[in-house]
Amino acid sequence: MIDYLIVGSGLAGISFSEIALQNNKTILVLDNNSQNSTKIAGGLYNPVILKRFSEVGHAKEHLVIMNDFFTVLEKKLNCKVDFKMPILRKFFSVEEQNNWFTASDKANLASFLSINLISKKYLSIDSPFGYGEVLQTGYVDTALLVSKYKEYLISNKWFLEESFDYSLLQEEKNGIKYKDFKARHIIFAEGFGMHSNPYFKELPLDGTKGELLVIKAPLLDLDVILNTSVFILPLGNNLFKVGATYNWTDKTDKPTEEGKAELIEKLKEIINCDFEIVRHFAGVRPTVKDRKPLVGTYSDHNSIHIINGLGTRGVMLGPSMAKALFENIEFQILLDKTIDIKRFAKKS
């Protein structure tokens, strides 16, 4: 018998798998490669919601857990996936500057918003009002993370590439049985694929489609992440990732001309040089209406669990949500009510 059968190997599945392994538990991961939101994600982590100048809830704790998580993981995988890089917010007016400095005076934001105005001139970007710098930021190369972690799991015979057949899942006294496998617990980390899951399909997972571009712009000289109406993330070799759109009705992962046009229009408002579109891709983020993750245990079934709904901040939230679920299962430490799926329990 293994400790955990984990369905899904995106950010949520990787996070839980790794937390379990770091605690000396045995795992098996199943994935059919149907969900691509992690692989195409921007991968940014940022403790501040810049549109509203508000802190991501428990940001300091999330960052500590995230940093420890990726430090251990990079040593294990023998490759770098976490890149520390400042995020700059371009100001379009003196009023925006003032709003920034007002926000940086708030106790919960002071450690994240620099009070020093950045006036550096970047080639091909007009910035007469300068930039504000967000601290403790960066990005994770999510495509590389998924690829390398899958290789690691396969090398240890902990991975099976196949679709999960819910009809074959059986509950037993001390866990679950699936085909020839027995496990103490099963963790569903399926992203938007959760809508096919009979145990959790009633949960309000919306899914928000996002489209991104990779562009080549030799005259764009950026060594930071620029975040305005879209983000511009330098990848090296004159390549930049640009994103992202938000579409709440289209639930496909097919790129659209409308999405491309929106990104190009917003990009041209920021940079004034020529660029070439190298790649255009899309995915459906697992998002929830209350913007909180879906973590917890199915009804009164103590062996069936979920970690989902990480949304646009999966890189920052994944490790701490996985840790919370693991500690809830193994040590009965209560989940925060804001993330526990019990918040959606029907009132009788």
Tokens linked to 182 = 């027995």
CB atoms < 10 A from the CB of 23, how many? 12
Q: What is the pLDDT of residue 308?
A: 97
Distance CA 143, CA 81 (A): 9
* pLDDT 10s digits, 66-93: 999 999 999 999 999 999 999 999 999 9
pTM > 0.85: yes or no = yes
| Residue 24 neighbours by CB under 8 Å, 6+ apart | none
Distance CA 150, CA 142 (A): 12
Mean pLDDT of 8-26: 97
DSSP 33-69: S---HHHH---EE-SEETTTTEEPTTHHHHHHHHHHH
Backbone angles phi, psi at 332, to 5 degrees: 55, 30
Question: For residue 191, which of 173, 206, 175 has the smallest C-alpha distance?
Answer: 206
Residue type at position 80: K
Let me know if the fold of 2-46+142-205+289-344 is the same as that of 86-136+208-285. no
Question: CATH for 86-136+208-285?
Answer: 3.30.9.10
Q: Look at residue 330 and give its three-state secondary structure.
A: helix
Distance CA 99, CA 103 (A): 6
* pLDDT 10s digits, 260-284: 999 999 999 999 999 999 999 999 9
Distance CA 272, CA 258 (A): 21
CA torsion 13-310-68-53 (nearest 10°) is: 170
- Over pLDDT 70: what percentage of the chain? 99
Cβ contact 245:262 at 8 Å: yes
pLDDT higher than 80, residue 123: yes
How does residue 33 score in pLDDT terms, banded at 50, 70 and 90? Answer: confident
Q: What is the pLDDT of residue 122?
A: 95
Domain spans of the chain? Answer: 2-46+142-205+289-344, 86-136+208-285
**244 cis-preceded (ω within 30 degrees of 0):** yes
The β-bridge partners of 247 are: 209
Between 300 and 219, residue with greater pLDDT: 219
pLDDT higher than 80, residue 135: yes
Q: What is the pLDDT of residue 21?
A: 97
Burial class of residue 27 in the structure, from the number of CB atoms within 10 Å of its CB (0-12 exposed, 13-18 middle, 19+ buried): buried
Distance CA 68, CA 175 (A): 30
Distance CA 240, CA 237 (A): 9
Q: What is the pLDDT of residue 242?
A: 97
Tokens linked to 29 = 């991961």
How does residue 347 score in pLDDT terms, banded at 50, 70 and 90? Answer: low
Considering the chain, what is the average pLDDT of its residues?
95
Question: CATH class for domain 2-46+142-205+289-344?
Answer: alpha beta
Tokens linked to 218 = 């030799």
Residue type at position 196: S
Cβ contact 77:148 at 8 Å: yes
How does residue 348 score in pLDDT terms, banded at 50, 70 and 90? Answer: very low
Q: Look at residue 275 and give its three-state secondary structure.
A: coil
CA 135 to each of CA 59, 71, 247, 317: distance values in angstroms, whole numbers, following the listed order: 12, 19, 29, 17
* pLDDT 10s digits, 173-229: 999 999 999 999 999 999 999 999 999 999 999 889 999 999 999 999 999 999 999
Mean pLDDT of 160-169: 96
Q: Is the dihedral of CA 322, 324, 326, 328 positive or negative?
A: negative
